[in-house]
Structures are given as C-alpha cells and as structure tokens.
Amino acid sequence: MYTGTLSLSDVEVGKHFYWYLSEKLSLHGQVLIVSWFVLLLILSFSILGTQKIEKIPQGWQNFMELVVEFIEDIAKNQLGPTAYKPWIPFIGTLFLFIFGSNWAGALIPWKIIQLPVCELAAPTNDNNTTVALSLLVSLTYFYAGIKKKGLGYFKRYLQPTPVLLPINILEDFTKPLSLSFRLFGNILADELTVSVLTMLVPLIIPLPIMILGVFASSIQALIFSTLAAAYIAEAIE
C-alpha cells in the first residue's frame, strides 16, 4: 500500500481501529464512533425542533417540518397516496442516517482527532454499515409483503410464468447486494479521489471534487431511501 509523504493525506483503505469484545469478536471502532456522533446529531436536531411546538412554525421547528415534508414526498412518490403513511419512519430514518453520515464524512475535518491506526470518516465507507442497512431493507419488504398478503406473498415468485422462479429468487439476493455496493462504492470512491488528489496537489485543486462529493453523497442518500420505498411498494402492490 502506498503511504504518502505528507501526513496530511494518507490513503488508508483496509486499516481499521479494532475494538475487541472477546478473542474472536472485534468491531470497527472508527465506524461506530462517527455513527454515534451522527445519531447524536440527528437526535439533538429533532429534540430542538420539537421543544416548543407552535401553530406557526419558527426557527428549528420550521426547518424540521421542511425535512419531514421532504421525506413524506419520497415515500408518497413511490408508495402512492394511500399506503405511504406507515413507512415514513423507516424511510426517513434511512434517509437521515445516510445523509447525516455522508455529510459528516465530507464536511467535518476528522483528521484533527488522531487515532492510533486509521482515521475517522463517513460510516458509510465501510461495507459492514451499508450491508446492515440494505439487509434491513430486505427484511422490511418481506415483512411488508407478508403482512399485506399473508403467505400469498410468495405467489409473486411464480408471477409471469413459473419458468422465471430462479430469477425471481435471485432477485432477492441481488437487491441488497446492489443497494449496499452502490452506497459503499460511491462514498469510498469519493473519499479516495479526494485523498489521491490531495496527495498530488494539496491546495485548491481537490476543491471541485470535494464539492461534487458533497452533492453526490446527498444524492446517494436520496437514491437509497427511494429504492427502499420502491422495493416496499413492489412487495405490497
């Protein structure tokens, strides 16, 4: 692995700040630290927004209502105006967590805090986080389908013709795979391009890529939550 001459810009992929729970069980500490930070941030935003609820919203309440309406729109566009209500919390949680962690990785100068092994970055640049999120999506659309139709949900595997059964089963595996790799790859690719460019030219040149990264990571959060909503809609239609 290449190690830069400047300590300002190392490419640190595949190094982790391990926490050992026991002999065999270890955690990626740097991911957990930043995701707890993001959770704390989202929690404090929502507490601030619901502190003094008024009829005519002002300040934080106004902002949080805007956020909630945006999330409602995502759910309503995919699930339709009748069925979207119960899924707003799930889709909103996905959107806010991914958005928060992508932007926390892009905007906060984590390099100030020194870790012994690697550096703090967006939690979504670790494959474990994104696989966990997309498996949650899989579980949720199975739950949604079975709750709506009972065991009749599994009839859709034979839907156009029974010949397509293997492909329909395969689809249940490719959905979380593509969902997780899309998010993980985009965030990691963004951080890698920025760090490689910073290694070559430390000043000014990486800035446009950073701005593009901030934009792309917000789009990725939107895509992930839209796709989650679309999968749920497919299961309950």
Partner 1 sequence: MDAIISAASVVSAGLAVGLASIGPGIGQGNAAGQAVEGIARQPEAENKIRGTLLLSLAFMEALTIYGLVVALSLLFANPFTG
Residues binding partner 1 (CB under 8 A): 1, 13-14, 178, 181-182, 184-186, 188-189, 192, 219-220, 222-223, 226
Q: How far is the CB of 24 from partner 1 (least distance, A)?
A: 20
Assigned token pair, 229: 């909503």
Q: How far is the CB of 184 from partner 1 (least distance, A)?
A: 7
CA distance 42 to 25: 29
CB 26 within 8 A of CB 19: yes
Q: How far is the CB of 121 from partner 1 (least distance, A)?
A: 14
What is 75-133 written as a DSSP string?
Answer: HHHHHHHHH-GGGHHHHHHHHHHHHHHHHHHHHS-GGGS--SSS----GGGSHHHHHHH
Residue type, 34: V
144 vs 187, which CB is nearer to partner 1? 187
1 vs 53, which CB is nearer to partner 1? 1
From residue 156, alpha-carbon distances to 77, 144, 151, 176, 237 in Å are 23, 14, 10, 19, 11
Q: How far is the CB of 40 from partner 1 (least distance, A)?
A: 29
115 vs 216, which CB is nearer to partner 1? 216
CA distance 177 to 157: 19
Q: How far is the CB of 53 from partner 1 (least distance, A)?
A: 31
144 vs 221, which CB is nearer to partner 1? 221
8 vs 189, which CB is nearer to partner 1? 189
CA distance 143 to 180: 20
